Amino acid sequence: MTLKRYVATRLITMFGVLMITLLITIALVGSNMDSILKQGVVFQVRSEITENPAIAESFSSVDEFELFIQTQIEQRIKILGLDEPWYSPQRIGLTMYKILFLDFGHATFLTSDSGSSDVKEIIVEKLPRTILLFTTATIIISVIGIFLGTLAGSKVGSILDRITSSFAIISSSFPVWWIGMLMIFVFSFVYHIFPARATPLIPSSDPSYIGSLLYHMTLPLITIVIIGFGSWAYLVRNFIVGIMQEDFIIAKKTMGINQKKIIYTHALKNAAPPIVTILALSLSGSLGGAIITEAVFDWPGMGRLYFEAITVMDLPVIIGATYVLTVFFLISIFVADLLYGYFDPRVRTG
Amino acid sequence: MSSITPQEIKAEFLKSKIGITGIAILSILIFTSIIVIVVIPVDTFKEWNNPGNWISYPKVAIPVWINLFLSEKIPEHKILNTPNVNYDVSEDTSITSHQFGVNFDYGDFPNDFIYEFSAKYSETPLLQMDVIRPDGIQLKLLSTSLPYSDSNSIHSERIFSTDNAIRKNLYLQSDKFLFPINNLSAEDIIFSKTENHEPLKGNYIFLIKMYGSNSENQISESRLIIGGKAFGIMGTDELRRDLAVGLLWGTPLALFIGLVVAITSVIMGLLYGVYAGYRGKKTDETMMRFNDVIYALPALPFLIILSVTISNSIFVMIGFLMIFGWVGIAKVARSMALQIKIRGYVEAANMMGQKDSKIVLRHILPQLLPYAFASIAISVPAAITTEAGLSFLGLGDPSFPTWGQILHDANVYGAAARGLWWWIMPPGVMIAITGLAFVFIGNALDAIVNPKLKR
């Protein structure tokens, strides 16, 4: 299999996954969505009639009036295509087509900071903040992790190695959001260093907003880094340890090239492919984890939006956010796959 | 991959320090679970969300052991059930007296006190409540007649320290105090020194007497609650629930969730992967494509949608966790099966005409068992933390006091902002300890089995 074909199959699989995800999401929320839309129509018709008293006066009996309202409602439902059940092929097709091109409709309850209820606008507003927090965190984590891991891997069994390894194991069993609660408890309420809520109080149009946002970002950032870098260091260490046992490294050692040079030029270079792959994967993983972390810190990003949408059952937002999260997740898996296939030709034939 | 016998694994495992530590922690947790299931009645945890069950407990009380570290002790919440009972029956009157001794040596006043009783009487007996203080002063608290009844009926009542009659009675005795007591609550007066407003330490006796004309009059149930700010080993939460009960019940629940999810998803993944790898060709291709699809689904958003739309029952959630659990294991199992199936003995069995199912079960699966155990151990913490995370978001099963559920309540009631550390710390520590036990075991097993195929 050539690289081209490999990429093509991956792309098709990813697109299939995206469609399946959409389908499942719609199937899960479809019936609720339908009733909400129908209620919306009824509300719209009734409010239009109350605004215009002339319509009501033109009817002689209450029954006739009610009948008129009913036919009005049914007509509108038919125009919108709501008379067919949500699982009819046309409607699912239409919904999926709309979502595919980022037309999520309007949110039922939630609005963006600027007051818009267009789901696309809400997401466009929140997404950069999540990317800002989690990308920064992942970069810091990977830098610390690669550095520590290389150090530990080059001196297997040393104190540094043992501390790194045990820290990695221990930190991986603590839930990030719980550490977050503790951090808020300690740094916001015992020592008043950082704000407890990560949402800045000044409006986003203010020029000092960015600075305030960064200041509010510190506590969640520290928390994510503390929990994350241990397992990174451990992974890198294991790669380095594995590579240091390879023949070509041992050959270089016998040639008398100094240890540091071997590690930083040859070993690290060979460990790069899996490290880059994991970097891509952990970026996507952190986006999924964002939901709980952002809920704890009240960080105004995608995760909190998702959580708020779930709490008030704002279905258009749920569908939109799931779609965007899935797209990001798939892109990073795709990139990781490509990198892996590029670096390791065996995968392509597998 | 060389075949390792179970004996070798056991011997190697016993040599590994962290493996032993993991087993030790796990045994303690299992032991706790068994004790909890046997000792704490199942009804207690069914009553977890019933506020009536926790009415006599204090709100957000700190654990009592904190007093060991303090010079000025925080008043403990005391529930006194066993009074000293005296009957004094003469010709036409009967006196029933109940005495509660309270040893009060704390640096602060209690929150309140409540006297609960059920009395069986006829006509209208007189109930009198007094307190004898360590300095010998006797304060009259209350003297009231119980509602009239002509037959021997049972009357239950709660007398609160906020009762106006108690306050009025105390104001009448204000000459015993050298400072104005007009604006103080009943408990602040009773437990105060006479010269200034500071708690008086020592033994207090609460004396409750019922005077009646019928010799059969009696107080059947009698309970005095001195409301304090410290209670139990683990304290209580905003809804007066004893956190020790919740934390203890969380242990078997977490182990159950973790183990069921891990074992089932490992078995599912193993069978799926081995079958795909063994059959190869088109079957393998299709099965692995399906696997890719599940692998690429974002798990947490999906779990959230599922629990919101379908059901948040804990058993349904266990099922959902399994759906996302088996994928990675299937991938590894497949690649291991690919290597094993070209070995001589598998091909020999194939040539002898053995059935596929038999070859998979008898010849390939046993080779993967060590790996299976290691992955079970590693999957458990993931299942536990995911469940805790979902519960923390408020999407868990509210009828079970899991650790995540307790943390959710803590977050809702702003425990961090109010400094209620005993509400936040223990559940998280328990989650981490349970996770650690399995990670330790998993790491030790992993090091022995060392599946080089795992990429």
Assess B38–A contact: CB distance below 8 Å, yes or no. Answer: no
Cβ separation B395–A310 shorter than 8 A: yes
Which pLDDT tens digit goes with each residue over A187-206? 888 888 887 776 776 666 77
Which neighbouring-strand residues pair with B222?
B117
Q: Which of B292, B311, B429 to mutate to test the interface with A (most CBs of A within 10 A)?
A: B292
Token digits for B123?
A: 């006509």
Give the distance from residue B122's alpha carbon to the nearest chain A alpha carbon, in angstroms. Answer: 56
Q: Is the pLDDT of residue B452 over 60?
A: no
Q: Cβ contacts (< 8 Å) between A287 and chain B: which residues?
A: 298
Give the distance from residue B350's alpha carbon to the nearest chain A alpha carbon, in angstroms. Answer: 23
Lowest mean pLDDT among B30-34, B87-91, B263-267, B420-424: B87-91
Which pLDDT tens digit goes with each residue over B1-55? 455 677 777 777 787 788 888 999 999 999 999 998 888 777 776 778 888 778 8
Backbone angles phi, psi at A281, to 5 degrees: -70, -40
pLDDT band at A172 (very low <50, low <70, confident <90, very high): confident
Distance, CA of B12 to CA of B6 (rounded, Å): 10
Residue of A nearest to B18 (CA): A166
**CB interface of A with B, residues 260-299, below 8 Å:** 287-289, 291-292, 295-296
Residue of A nearest to B433 (CA): A173
CB hemisphere CA count around A347 (13 angstroms): 18
Assess A217–B contact: CB distance below 8 Å, yes or no. Answer: no
Which pLDDT tens digit goes with each residue over A117-153? 788 888 888 888 888 888 888 889 989 988 888 888 8
Task: Choose among B388, B410, B443: nearest Cβ to A169.
Answer: B443
**CB interface of A with B, residues 147-176, below 8 Å:** 169-170, 172-175
Interface size, chain A vs chain B, as Cβ–Cβ contacts under 8 Å: 128
Say what the pLDDT of residue B1 is: 45
Three-class SS state of B221: strand
Cβ contact A291:A307 at 8 Å: yes
Task: Choose among A172, A184, A321: nearest Cβ to B416.
Answer: A184
pTM higher than the cut 0.80: yes
Give the distance from residue A216's alpha carbon to the nearest chain B alpha carbon, in angstroms. Answer: 17
Distance, CA of B252 to CA of B241 (rounded, Å): 19
Three-class SS state of B264: helix
Say what the pLDDT of residue B31 is: 93
Which ipTM did the prediction report? 0.78
Assess A50–B contact: CB distance below 8 Å, yes or no. Answer: no
Which pLDDT tens digit goes with each residue over A239-296? 888 787 778 888 888 888 777 788 777 777 777 777 777 787 777 766 666 788 888 8
Backbone angles phi, psi at A300, to 5 degrees: -80, 55
Task: Choose among A17, A29, A289: nearest Cβ to B300.
Answer: A289
Distance, CA of A214 to CA of A212 (rounded, Å): 5
Assess B385–A contact: CB distance below 8 Å, yes or no. Answer: yes
Say what the pLDDT of residue B257 is: 92
Distance, CA of B109 to CA of A316 (rounded, Å): 54
Token digits for B24?
A: 């030790």
Q: Which of B300, B433, B443, B450 to mutate to test the interface with A (most CBs of A within 10 A)?
A: B300
Q: Which residue has the tokens 């260093």?
A: A193
Cβ separation B392–A292 shorter than 8 A: yes
Mean local confidence (pLDDT), B118-124: 81
Cβ separation A175–B389 shorter than 8 A: yes
Assess B171–A contact: CB distance below 8 Å, yes or no. Answer: no
Q: Cβ contacts (< 8 Å) between B289 and chain A: which residues?
A: 13
pLDDT band at B451 (very low <50, low <70, confident <90, very high): very low
Residue A260 Cα distances to A150, A157, A233, B131, B275, angstroms: 10, 17, 18, 80, 46
Q: Where are the alpha helices (DSSP H) in A185-267?
A: 209-244, 247-255, 259-261
Cβ separation A288–B306 shorter than 8 A: no
